[in-house]
Chain A
């Protein structure tokens, strides 16, 4: 991935951070996005610490105008984006019977519509370049469902249909579109669960432990690499066997 330009959303911590670092280790120029300035600064810090070219940038993934201006500034500084990782995501867990419209809508906007917005924004340059890698970070929850996460599961499942359709649309331009479906990964998001919840979840993982962010990042790096050039419309499950396709 030498000097390929990668955009990773939600890169200030967790899986996004691991992905940005991993792509950088493989030689990519990495632009990581965060919702807040201190998040962008955190990205700058870990990138420069690892001698990775690129930068952190503030981006609200729900704002099309902001997306376009951020991409324009990346173009000016580095060039066209060749690898897009749609990783930004939030949770608004609630049992469906109690779920507010806002809890549903927030998740759809940030976790699903953002992938549409970002992909659309980078696609034209990829089509012209006859090269592109779009990798959408979905979730095992989008495959098997989860109590309290009907909204999150719906958005993550939506990514599969989105990716497969887009993969068909732009395959002739040598652009691949794939999903990663992480299982139960050790991040701030899963640390919010109680010990009891964590233990009962691990019981369903044949490998008997939480996954590490770097293990998700490795799968992303593979799909972003030239080695994965004939894989499109696929989902790579990184879940310790929690769900087997």
Chain B
């Protein structure tokens, strides 16, 4: 079973159409990985699906990097 970090990086790579090795913990979705606003919304929805949780909009706004996504999932869903 992959850990949360690997699962998230896989989703980010798939969703944003970048190579998995390009996805670093400190990568910003918008600034480093070229996401537009719709990409970030899709990304959040993909995370919700993967981790079977609901991420409120005000929380989602704060998830701007891979690490922030990992942190969120670790403290809120993490199944």
Contacts and interface: CB of A to CB of B under 8 A. Distances in A.
Interface of A: 124, 127-128, 169-170, 172-173
A106 B36 CA distance: 37
9 contacts: A124-B42, A127-B38, A127-B42, A128-B42, A169-B38, A170-B38, A172-B36, A172-B38, A173-B38
B34 to A, nearest CB: 12
Q: Which 6 A-B pairs have the closest CB atoms?
A: A127-B42, A172-B38, A172-B36, A124-B45, A169-B38, A173-B38
The majority secondary structure among interface residues of chain A is helix
Interface string B42-67: 10010000000000000000000000
Contacts of A173: 38
B39 to A, nearest CB: 9
Interface in B16-51: 36, 38, 42, 45
Contacts of A124: 42, 45
A166 B38 CA distance: 12
Contacts of B42: 124, 127-128
Nearest to A128: B42
Contacts of A128: 42
A178 B42 CA distance: 23
B33 to A, nearest CB: 16
A124 B43 CA distance: 11
A172 B35 CA distance: 12
Nearest to A173: B38
A173 B42 CA distance: 12
Contacts of B38: 127, 169-170, 172-173
Nearest to A169: B38
A67 to B, nearest CB: 17
Contacts of B36: 172
A38 B36 CA distance: 46
A169 B38 CA distance: 8
A145 B42 CA distance: 38
Nearest to A171: B38
A160 B38 CA distance: 22
A127 B38 CA distance: 9
Contacts of A172: 36, 38
Given A124-B42, A124-B45, A169-B38, 7 more contacts: A127-B38, A127-B42, A128-B42, A170-B38, A172-B36, A172-B38, A173-B38
B36, B38, B45: residue with the most chain A Cβ atoms closer than 10 Å:
B38
B20 to A, nearest CB: 19
Contacts of A169: 38
A214 B36 CA distance: 40
Nearest to A124: B45
A215 B68 CA distance: 53
A173 B37 CA distance: 12
